Chain A
Amino acid sequence: MPARPFAVVIPFALLLAAPLQATPRPGDWEGVLDEARGQTVYWSAWAGDTRTNRYIEWINHRMRELHDVEVVHVKLDDTGTAVSRVLAERQAGNLDDGSIDLIWLNGENFAAMRANDLLFGPFADSLPHFALTFPDHNPEVLTDFTLPTEGYESPWGKAQITFYYDSADIEDTPPESIEALLGWAKANPGRFTYPRIPDFTGSTFLKQALIALAEDTDALYSHAEESDFEAVTEPLWNYLDELHPHLWRRGRQFPANGPGMLRLVGDGELSLAFTFNPSEPAAAVADFELPASTRSYVLDGGTLGNVHFVAIPFNSPNKAGALVVADFLLSPEAQAHKQDLAVWGDPTVLDLTRVDEATRALFTPEEENPAMLPPGALETTLAEPHPSWMGALQRAWQVRYVGN
């Protein structure tokens, strides 16, 4: 049987060749660019929004022109599936030929992947465009829900809780604080709700309310196990117990997520809602999902905000390509295109007060759009609590409000 020796030799040859092509050195950027040429980067990203999908398609287009890298959007309905995938691959011993090269994530998913050593890094510092975020002045690009990113993920966009309402429906001023919201809901039963826990946006509402109601907010910025969870969160549960009977469907049912809430506003079931993307209401008006009388605002004292990132799984076979994509996402060109309301409207992570004049000029000033926030509205951003609070709040909520 002459074929036999080859059967043994070939796997060995592959084994030897594999490490050379799989681990680029981020420090040698020219080398990374060379290696990236011709690679295909599989980018796992939530795909529930056509605007986001079109932006990623544009990234693919530009990457092919600039760096000869092809970007394939692996469309997810839940980022957790990508985490599962990487985990399954490690479980099966696939250590260098994974199917995912780049993941869009933050918060809990990052914490989970980092804790289980599923990420490649550190790499963020070596991306040439990362400096434009001026991390020394903007620590939020280095911390993800209080966890230091340590270079294992690279920022590419921002989010902040923004409330919106139909001004044809609410003639006087909408509630401007968590406390006022309760009174408003009592006066307008069934016209407000929040997404079902454990949804990301819904959980953020819990945290926002907790920050407003808790007596000791310092406890929220260290691990939840280190504080008296019952005592810290008691005001929140009292608040929710009082609020729920006045919510949509009397609090017996909740929309699945932020977009679900937006649809209910469009259908006229809700009058007031909130989103994580400040420009979403304006975009939804343009897409006929919300009435033209939609207006946005931010609570007094600020709302929760965070940064979203991209990370590279440890077993990605196209790390060089993934690095080049992560860097391009931070380029002024990509950031300006992303912030354009006609494209996506996701706020930039670059520090526009510190970049040079030419770069700043790329970012078109916000046009007067009645559905958009007034300029400067996002100045007060509350920092995200430690990620352990998210899980703890979700579990406690489910114990209290999931029927048996």
Chain B
Amino acid sequence: MLRLAPVLIVTLLVGPILAGLAMAVLPAFGYLPALGGTGFGLEPWRDLFSQPGLARSVTVSFASGLFTTAVSLSVVLLFLAGASGSRLDRWILRMVSPLLSIPHAAAAFGLAFLIAPSGLLSRLISPGLTGWERPPDALTVQDPWGLSLMAGLIVKEIPFLLLMSLAALPQLDPDRRVAMARSLGYRPAIAWLKVVAPALYPLIRLPVYAVIAYATSVVDVALILGPTLPPTLGVSILTWFNDPDLSRRFMASAGAVLQLGVTASALVAWWCVERLAARLGRGWIDRGGRRQGESSLRLAGQGLILVACLTAFVGLGALALNSMAGFWRFPDALPQGFTTIHWMRALPSLTGPVASTAVIAVISTSIALALVLAALENEQRTRRHPTRGRLFSALGLLYLPLIVPQIAFLSGLVVVMESLGGRPRLGLVVFGHLLFVLPYVFLSLSEAYRRLDPRWSQLALTLGTSRHAAFWRMRLPMLLAPILTAMAVGLAVSVGQYLPTQLLGAGRVSTVTTEAVALASGGNRRVIGVWALVQAGLPLLGFIIAVGLPRLIWSRRRGMRGAS
């Protein structure tokens, strides 16, 4: 049974994606009998390339993928290099999990309200410092270069990469590495960057690739913060798919294939940058500089991550303020009055979506967890050591859903499911979520599982327990903290899913995220505030349980409580 787990995972993930992709590729070459396309041709591609602004859409998508990843990764590495266990460092680390639980769209709305010309920052300093009686006519949100889009993504990707790095770090024994380097005269941050970072990177390479793929194809954040004339490629494709002119579906499919190409080339470009960085980095290490730049590195790491954390939290706070605001004229720093009417109106309609969100999240996370545990336990028993961090191993296919842009295969998947007679029901949505929850749960749990000292198992076996008993009575309890964290990540991923819920559920399954996105199209910031807080609150609950439960259960065993 256990041996089947990896096979099951791979077919479960790869099958639907390939089938969905095929259904997107066929219309891209003119084949879509339902719309009268029975022959093959290049017409959709000609239409696509004649779209105004296409080159710019592609450039922004490509650039935001690389730039977002480069900045987030640098900030994370600089912070880890400079972290010395001070109170500030511990506080930042504690902020990471809740930050991860804020859905992308909610964080984006918060940021947009923060930095808009009529936003909170501008209100706070006006008219006192600026003399502005009305908002300045400045392009800060949705700028044509995609800078605000990248900022929004960076704020959300930093916690993700940080959490992934923290999960992978212990197996490198960073303290001893740094101690060794320090004995040779290196300052701590320099030492970390020279001896730990090069070993850490291969372990977090897959999450990094997932960030690139996500940032090149993201739709919800790009709708809120991204450029508009033209929008990013992902947003354009969605608009074409939804165009009343049904013949645009062909071009939309061609766009989806192009999106796949853009993501793939961003990955290839990153791979080249990796080579280059490795070469330059080696030179830097070889030169043997021991102190140069220590304090500025440290400062940059802490400063940047602090700015990112604060931005996310202040943005969320601003949304909370909005959800209770009466009329709020510029440049007042606070609304003219407060009211609970927005919450009172939303409450009756909250229960259904909250319940279905919770049900979907719990079921898909539980299935994902069971499959991941089975695959990892199988790995331990067969002693086939995994090809860690390498993209093309069999289990590496697990990450396909994170690398292939959602928009490219989901609409095709709808057709496949319809043909198979899978009617849009809760089950289908759970399956759709599983595609994305599974890789994240695997990503969060695998390193902790693999690095659990094998001698514990051996000890249990010598005491006469069976392998099963060892798994249930020794491994699971010892891994309670990382398992709960992985579950919390899984829940957060499930709660945030929009396209899979909407497309596979035919809109019938309504979750807090589908409600939030539908209401966001109405642009009422007060209503958006209410729903964004609800949307952020659910995964937060998961993270609180993940941190609190081990402390409660192991209140008498400090060593079992896990990190943080």
Contact = CB atoms under 8 A, between A and B. Distances in A.
Contacts of A353: none
7 contacts: A46-B518, A77-B518, A84-B241, A92-B416, A254-B229, A263-B523, A269-B118
B506 A74 contact: yes
A206 B487 CA distance: 51
B339 interface: yes
Interface stretch (A62-70, A106-114, A230-238, A337-345): A106-114
A254 B242 CA distance: 20
Interface stretch (A131-139, A303-311, A395-403): A395-403
A292 interface: yes
Contact of A259 (B244, B341, B423, B522): B522
A290 B524 CA distance: 11
B228 A254 contact: yes
Contacts of B228: 196, 253-254, 256
Contact of B327 (A84, A107, A290, A402): A290
Contacts of B453: none
A275 to B, nearest CB: 12
A190 B35 contact: no
A271 B116 CA distance: 17
Interface of A: 42, 44, 46-50, 53-54, 57, 72, 74-85, 87-94, 97, 99-100, 107-109, 111-112, 115-116, 189-190, 196, 198, 248-250, 252-254, 256-257, 259-260, 262-264, 266-269, 287-292, 391, 398-399, 401-404
Nearest to B113: A267
Interface residues of B, number: 71
Nearest to A268: B330
A91 B137 contact: no
Given A47-B518, A80-B243, A269-B134, A94 B326 contact: no
B42 to A, nearest CB: 20
Contacts of B329: 268, 291
B33 interface: yes
Contact of B229 (A47, A85, A116, A196): A196
Contacts of B418: 88-89, 91-94
B526 A252 contact: no
Interface stretch (B50-58, B273-281, B369-377): B50-58
Given A74-B508, A268-B134, A50 B518 contact: no
B519 interface: yes
Contacts of A189: 137
Given A53-B349, A287-B526, 16 more contacts: A48-B520, A48-B523, A76-B507, A79-B244, A93-B419, A99-B506, A99-B508, A100-B506, A109-B244, A111-B244, A253-B144, A259-B521, A267-B118, A287-B524, A288-B325, A289-B524
Closest 9 CB pairs of A and B: A48-B522, A80-B242, A92-B418, A259-B523, A108-B244, A268-B330, A91-B34, A267-B118, A99-B506
Contact of A267 (B135, B510, B521): B135
A199 to B, nearest CB: 10
B246 interface: yes
A256 B117 CA distance: 17
Contact of A402 (B230, B326, B339): B230
A57 B327 CA distance: 27
A44 B510 CA distance: 12
Contacts of A398: 51-53
Contact of B32 (A91, A248, A250): A91
Interface of B: 32-35, 51-53, 55-56, 116-118, 134-135, 137, 139, 142, 144, 223, 228-230, 239, 241-246, 249, 325-331, 335, 337, 339, 341, 345-346, 349, 411, 414-419, 423-424, 502, 506-508, 510, 514-515, 517-527
Contacts of A287: 341, 524, 526
Contacts of B325: 288
Contact of B35 (A80, A100, A116, A290): A116
B327 A267 contact: no
Contacts of A260: 523
B416 to A, nearest CB: 8
Nearest to B246: A112
Nearest to B502: A81
Contacts of A42: 506-508
B489 to A, nearest CB: 27
Given A257-B523, A403-B53, A91 B33 contact: yes
Q: Which of B52, B135, B329, B506 has the most CB of A within 10 A?
A: B506
